Amino acid sequence: MLEIKNLQAKIGEKQILNGIDLKVNAGEVHAIMGPNGSGKSTLASVLAGREDYEVINGTVQFNGKDLLELEPSDRAAEGIFLAFQYPVEIPGVSTINFMKTAVNKIRHYRGQSPLDAVAFLQLMKEKMKLVEIDQSLLSRSLNEGFSGGEKKRNEIFQMAMLEPKLAILDETDSGLDIDALKIVAHGVNSLRSKNNATIVVTHYQRLLDYTVPDFVHVLYKGKIVKSGTKELAKELEAKGYDWIKNEAALV
Amino acid sequence: MSKDNQLLEEFTSKEYEYGWNVNLEADEAPKGLSEDTVRFISAKKKEPTWLLEWRLKAYRQWEKMPEPTWPNVHYPKINYQDIIYYSAPKQKKSLSGLDEVDPELIKTFEKLGISITEQKRLTGVAVDAVIDSVSVATTFKSTLGELGIIFCSFSEAVKEHPDLIKKYLGSVVPMGDNYFAALNSAVFSDGSFCYIPKGVRCPMELSTYFRINAANTGQFERTLIIADEGSFVSYLEGCTAPMRDENQLHAAVVELYAMKDAEIKYSTVQNWYPGDKNGKGGIYNFVTKRGLCFGDHSKISWTQVETGSAITWKYPSCVLKGDYSMGEFYSVAVTNNYQQADTGTKMIHIGKNTKSRIVSKGISAGKSQNSYRGQVHIMKRASNARNFSQCDSLLMGDQCGAHTFPYIDVENQTARIEHEATTSKIGEDQIFYCLQRGIDEEAAVALIVNGYAKEVLNQLPMEFAVEAQKLLALTLEGSVG
Ligand SMILES: Nc1ncnc2c1ncn2[C@@H]1O[C@H](COP(=O)(O)OP(=O)(O)OP(=O)(O)O)[C@@H](O)[C@H]1O
Ligand SMILES: [Mg+2]
């Protein structure tokens, strides 16, 4: 589904991604971990097409398409979803309104007719239940005055609405209480299928207890320095990153 | 939510949509302005002598007045002798129904998306359509008539209700109020008149679509709305003008008069031709709009969405004379390319316990200049007066300008005045967030801008809100990236 080869990217004069290789197949869950500032969010942004980052080398194939050639909105329509580490506020625009626009834009891209109000409402109700989010929250200005946890839950609601092929969750677990964490994990799990894939960026084992990854990668200084199974995440939780850093320094 | 959706789907046309010209045989005054022009207009309209005298008095005052230079707008000097002051579409006889209306005219309305028949059938909006200064179709008259509501063209009102006109014409905006009001008073061609009797709630939105059609024709509309004690009316004014190269002058006057316990809600969506991308052409919109809350507990509310005109000079105001009366002003003004807008309001508190609320949202893009100019004046007698003002500016790009000129005069120490102002830019973060959800850049801007203007758009009746949202988006097309 996704194949990243030797991806290098910079912002301004600063190179942040230093040659990333990663292959994600349909049906898989990959966790990406790594110390602060190692480039996890940058990788997510580059995949989503944020313009501030300049790709200086490498290729990204997504379902047979050259992802880097696509406009950010087209990437979304092709099925890439990014749950933001810091969701953005848009005053005066409700989540409902935002989602209605997004859903129909994406449907338009795919040559489908727009959902009418009834169908949209039905879809919304179903997804609201899945992530246990309240309609009153969805009627408020998007992310404005939301608590940290509400913002994250709202991201997962949006993911559920858009049913992406590849979801990238950037620290969606941070700031969630235990109950919210379970709900989010439940949401992610119930959207899992053999046709889609998930990349989970996280610092903690706890989300991975519920959403069990097939692979765990450690990003350090803009490179994947170690990959393993879910056991690797547990090892990191127990030992921290120093041993990885040391290993990396030896190479 | 369906509003935005509809808006986004109709996001297609790039040029000014309403830029075409129908061939209506005009019946024009010769170019130029003199006492003779004033007499010509008055004669053409078969007016009574008192009205001719009134016009001439206004003309003589205008002659002595200097053109104002204080607004923050710049334009080449207007040659008032190079303007045609009267142009009426030719009509064979007076009309009793829509079927008799010139089919060319009906086509015009259809191009504008205002099929009167459709509107009549579907929405229950009574439309008094003004094209080139003369009312040609008035609908729903009988329904309104049963309630004693008068809704007709100004000329008709002069004939049918001379006492009301005589009493209220110029009672809110005196003929010599300002340069453009004086000009209008001298040469106004037509407009709308509305009277709501005591205790009557007008059951439908009253609506007028203005349209400039013939070349080189100044538009001098005059609207007068009187709400008698305890009555209510919501009035909509929409404007579109065809594309044209020369600048055209539009100097309208609107007077609202609210008696005890009466309420008038006046909404405008203005999209006169703004000129092209290089600042060539466009309408000069110099309008005087004022409402008088004459009686106690009366209320006047202005809502405007201003997207058009090369230059806008407009301050819908409220004179709060009655105790406990209330004035509101909700405005969205968008400028793009080389447009200039200097708009705002005046709230004059005279009565006790009067209240006013101002919500102004400016949006500037391209090389445009957008100024908010607002005055809150609390007079001596106005104890316990209250005002709240919120003036926000949104900038798109770094070549445009937003300016705020609030003037506050307080002569009574019991007044409570709050003023808030913000300036913001559409954030890259916000755009990217939208893009990441599959919403393209233009749609993202439309969404964000409509969100920003929501508090004002919410004041508009539903059909108008949809149109206004579309206009905001159209006006800002191509202004990012
Ligand atoms: N606009 C920018 N200008 C300069 N440096 C930047 C910019 N954006 C990101 N960086 C730098 O790039 C590096 C990687 O940042 P990134 O946000 O990808 O880290 P991360 O792995 O997601 O960290 P965290 O775990 O704290 O979220 C950091 O050193 C950061 O300061
Ligand atoms: Mg990060």
A66-104 residue pLDDT tens: 999 999 999 999 999 999 999 999 999 999 999 999 999
Give the number of other CB atoms < 10 A from CB of residue B223: 24
B332 and chain A in contact, CB less than 8 A: no
Report residue A246: phi and psi, to 5°: -65, -45
Q: Across the interface, do B447 and A87 touch by the CB < 8 Å criterion?
A: no
Closest CB from B5, B453, B455 relative to A104? B5
The CATH number of whichever domain residue A53 belongs to comes to: 3.40.50.300
User: Tokens standing for B72?
Assistant: 């923050």
How many other β-carbons are positioned within 10 Å of the β-carbon of residue B301? 21
* Parent domain of B458: 426-481
What pLDDT is attached to residue A161? 95
Which residue, judged by its Cα, is nearest atom 11 of ligand 1?
Answer: A37
Is B452 in Cβ contact with A92 (below 8 Å)? yes
Task: Tell me the chain B residues in contact with residue A71 when contact means C-beta distances shorter than 8 Å.
Answer: 435, 440
Q: Side-chain half-sphere of A235: how many Cα atoms within 13 Å?
A: 14
Q: How far is CA A146 from CA A101, A169, B150, in A?
A: 21, 19, 50
Tell me what the mean pLDDT of segment B95-109 comes to. Answer: 54
Whole-angstrom CA distances from A234 to A103, A141, A168, A243, B137 are: 38, 39, 21, 14, 79
What's the confidence (pLDDT) of residue B473? 74
The pLDDT, as a whole number, for residue A218 is: 93
| Helices marked H in B48-101 | 49-64
Q: With CA atoms as reference, report the closest residue to B15 among B277, B262, B311.
A: B277
Residues of A in contact with B394 (CB under 8 A): none
User: Is A130 in contact with A187 (CB distance < 8 Å)?
Assistant: yes
Q: Give how far B431 is from chain A: nearest CA, Å.
A: 9
Rounded to whole angstroms, the Cα distance separating A49 from A40 reads 14
Matching residue, tokens 């909509």: B236
- Residues of A whose CB is below 8 A from B431: none
Residue B256: which pLDDT band, with cuts at 50, 70 and 90? very high
Q: Which of A152-156, B228-232, B236-240 has the weakest average pLDDT? A: B236-240
| pLDDT the model gives residue A66 | 95
- Other beta carbons within 10 angstroms of residue B342's beta carbon come to 22
Given a cut of 80, is residue A163 above it in pLDDT? yes
Residues whose CB is less than 8 angstroms from the CB of residue B411 and which lie 6 or more positions away in sequence, other chains included: B377, B378, B379, B380, B382
Residues 6 or more apart whose CB falls under 8 angstroms from that of B378 comprise B349, B385, B387, B409, B410, B411, B412, B415, B417
Same domain (yes/no): B439, B307 = no
Residue B475 CB partners (closer than 8 Å, separation 6+): B271, B274, B307, B308, B334, B336
Average pLDDT, integer, range B172-192:
91
> Which token pair is A65?
């398409």
A167 in contact with B, Cβ within 8 Å: no
Of B329, B332, B47, B11, the residue nearest B188 (C-alpha)? B47
**Number of structural domains found in chain A:** 1
pLDDT digits (tens, 9 = 90+) for B50-61: 999 999 999 999
Last residue of a domain, one of B292, B314, B336: B314
pLDDT more than 70, % of chain A: 99
Tell me what pLDDT residue A167 has. 95
Give distance in angstroms: CA of A171 to centre of ligand 2: 7
Q: Look at residue B207 and tell me if it is in a domain.
A: yes
Q: Which of A80-94, B59-73, B257-271 shows the lowest per-residue confidence on average (mean pLDDT)?
A: B59-73
Q: What radius of gyration do chain B's Cα atoms show? A: 21
Provide the greatest CA pair distance for chain B: 68
Of B9, B439, B454, the CB nearest to A73: B439
Neighbours of ion ligand 2 (CB under 5 A): A 40-41, 85
Write out pLDDT tens, residues B21-55.
Answer: 444 455 677 777 888 888 888 888 889 999 999 99
- B367 vs A38, higher pLDDT: A38
Are the CB atoms for B342 and B69 separated by under 8 Å?
Answer: no
Q: Is residue B82 pLDDT above 50, yes or no?
A: yes
Q: Is residue B147 part of a domain?
A: yes
Q: Are B252 and B184 in contact (CB under 8 A)?
A: yes
Chain A residues with CB under 8 Å of B439 CB are 73, 101-102, 105
Distance CA B33, CA B82 (A): 8
Contact B214, B24 (CB under 8 A): yes
Which is the closest atom of ligand 1 to the Cα of A52?
1
Give me the number of domains chain B comprises: 2
Whole-angstrom Cα distance, residue B88 to residue B135?
A: 9
In a domain, B241, yes or no: yes
Q: Residue B333 has which token pair?
A: 């003004």
Spatial distance between the Cα atoms of A12 and A7, rounded to a whole number of angstroms? 17
Calpha distance B367→A195 (Å, rounded): 49
pLDDT digits (tens, 9 = 90+) for B402-443: 888 999 999 999 999 999 999 888 888 999 999 999 999 989
Q: What is the pLDDT of residue B141?
A: 65
Tokens for B326? Answer: 């209330």
Contact between residue B377 and residue B350 where contact means Cβ atoms under 8 Å apart:
no
The span from the CA of A230 to the CA of A205, in Å, is 9
Q: Which atom of ligand 1 lies at the shortest distance from residue A222's CA? A: 14
Phi and psi at residue B278, in whole multiples of 5°? -95, 10
**B329, part of any domain:** no
> Alpha-carbon dihedral of residues B324, B222, B185, B293, nearest 10 degrees?
0
Measured CA to CA, the distance from residue A55 to residue A52 in angstroms comes to 10
The pLDDT of residue B94? 45
Out of A38-52, A110-124, B119-133, which region has the weakest mean confidence (pLDDT)? B119-133
Contact between B451 and A91 using a beta-carbon 8 Å cutoff:
yes
Put simply, whether B458 touches A (Cβ < 8 Å) is no
Closest CA to A192 of A219, A156, A222: A156
Point out the domain boundary residue: B314, B334, B365.
Answer: B314
pLDDT over threshold 50, residue B180: yes
The fraction of chain B above a pLDDT of 90, given in percent, is 42
DSSP-based three-state secondary structure for B115: coil
Q: Does B448 touch chain A (CB under 8 A)?
A: yes
pLDDT of B224 reads: 95
Give the mutation target among A8, A10, A13, A14 for probing the ligand 1 site: most ligand atoms within 8 A of CB.
Answer: A14
Distance, in Å, from the CA atom of B337 to the CA atom of A226, rounded to the nearest integer, reads 54
Per the structure, the complete domain to which residue A180 belongs is given by: 2-250
Q: pLDDT: is B366 or B197 the higher one?
A: B197
* CB of B412 closer than 8 Å to CB of B353: no
Closest CA to ligand 1's atom 1: A11
A123 touches chain B (CB under 8 A): no
Asked if B363 and B349 count as a contact pair (C-beta separation under 8 A), the reply is no
- pLDDT bracket for residue B396 (50, 70, 90): confident
Q: Does the residue B296 lie in any domain?
A: yes
Measured on CA atoms in the order B184, B39, B169, B152, is the torsion positive or negative? negative
Evaluate whether B407 touches B378 at the Cβ level (below 8 Å).
Answer: no
Q: Which of B8, B427, B453 sits opposite A101 (nearest CB)?
A: B8
* Cα A174 to ligand 2 centroid, rounded to whole Å: 11
Structural domain ending residue among the three candidates B244, B279, B314: B314
**What is the pTM assigned to this prediction?**
0.80
Q: Which residues of A touch B465 (CB under 8 A)?
A: none
pLDDT of residue B307: 84
A160-164, A245-249, B424-428: segment of lowest average pLDDT: A245-249
CA of A92 to the centre of ligand 2 (A): 27
Q: Which residues of B412-432 are buried (b: 16+ CB within 10 A; e: fewer)?
A: eeebebeeeeeeeebeeebbb
Question: Is the distance from CB of B378 to CB of B350 less than 8 angstroms?
Answer: no
Highest mean pLDDT among B63-67, B113-117, B339-343 belongs to: B63-67
Give the A window 98-117 contacts with B, CB below 8 Å. 98-102, 104-106, 109, 114, 117
- Do the domain assignments include residue B155? yes
Burial code of B279-300, b = ≥16 C-beta within 10 A, e = fewer?
Answer: bebbbbbbbbbbbbbbbbbbbb
Of A75, A76, A105, the CB nearest to B443: A105
pLDDT tens sequence across A222-244: 999 989 998 898 888 888 888 88
Higher pLDDT: B128 or B389? It is: B389
The per-residue pLDDT for B185 is 95
Average of per-residue pLDDT across B275-297: 87
Q: Which residues pair with B142 in a beta bridge?
A: none
Judged by CB atoms closer than 8 Å, whether chains meet at A73 and B435 is answered as yes
User: Nearest Cα to A105, choosing from A131, A73, A137, A75?
Assistant: A73
Contact between residue B165 and residue B255 where contact means Cβ atoms under 8 Å apart: no
Q: Give the pLDDT confidence score for residue B216 in this predicted structure.
A: 44
Partners of A31 in beta bridges: A200, A216
Does residue B434 share a domain with residue B288? Answer: no
B107 vs B22: CA distance, rounded Å: 9
For B62, other C-beta atoms within 10 Å of its C-beta total 23
Q: How far apart are CA A245 and CA A38, in angstroms?
A: 11
Pocket test for ligand 1, best of A13, A36, A51 (most atoms within 8 A of CB): A36
